[in-house]
Structure 1
Amino acid sequence: MSLHDKINILEVIARYSYSYDGRDADGFAHLFTEDGIFEVMYAGGHHPELRLESRAAIYEWASQRHQQVIKDIQDRHFQSGTLFDVLTWEHAQTRTMVLITHQGTDDAAPRPVLSGVYHDRWRKTRSGWQIAQRTLHHDHRRPYLSR
């Protein structure tokens, strides 16, 4: 894998934050392959709290989440520490730490709401690198979907 490929994957990771936090459900969904999977697992859990199994399902979920979010609350996904575990010309696997915060218009500072690690499988497509599967492993006791 070339340095160019690594940079492209890191850019998709950044686009994930900007598109979701910017409430761009279409841009968010198009970071995934057509058959892409997004799931959320509580650390130590055996079954996902959430599992979406297509770009269309990911789009629908993101659209609904964006409509449910209070207009005066801003989500922020801070992703860092990406490690490349598998590197080939057509596939990759990464791990990326994430801290998700909320901040309202009256809040002096952002409030942490979730932290964890994204485990990603990547596929190189005609459109470039896309997420084939993203699994969030978090260790908060409060369910992900209640945020």
Structure 2
Amino acid sequence: MMQISDSHNQKRSLFNAMNRFIGAVNNMDQTVMVPSLLRDVPLDMEEMKEEVTNGAANYYSRRDMHSYYILLKSIRNDIEWGILQGDDRKKDKVTHMDMVRLEDSDGEEDLEKLFHYHLTGLHTVLSKLTRKANMLTNRYKEEIGFGSWGH
């Protein structure tokens, strides 16, 4: 039974975090009517200040709002529909050592690769746990003779 005190813990649940993310991306998608207007627009004001001091070369080395828009929509789709397992993703395959380098790097991390690495791992673990739960359920049914009741 869920109690009122559980609502704080519920806010920290993976399911609710995914729902908040999907809601935010859906809101973004409904608000942004012309995504192409986001091209070449820095994501935040700090990037804009840095570009003014470092010049145009630095400007094109960073992601703009349009690329983040596409990234966020792609991640939302991966959560809702699963990660593509074709040739498209083979080039994006991240090993454990790649992940450690991505997380420890001083520069901007590749959030999409980190997300896919962790989502794939979470999916694998949840699939194994699902099989275990199904095995336990079937074993219990065998023990109590549930399978013979229907015949």
TM-score higher than 0.5 here? Answer: no
Which has the higher relative contact order, 1 or 2, with Cα contacts under 8 A spaced 6 or more apart? 1
Bigger proportion of residues as strand:
1
Report the TM-score, using the length of structure 2 for normalisation: 0.24
Q: Point out the structure with the larger helix share.
A: 2
If you compute each CA radius of gyration, which structure gives the higher value, 1 or 2?
A: 2
* TM-score, with length taken from structure 1: 0.24
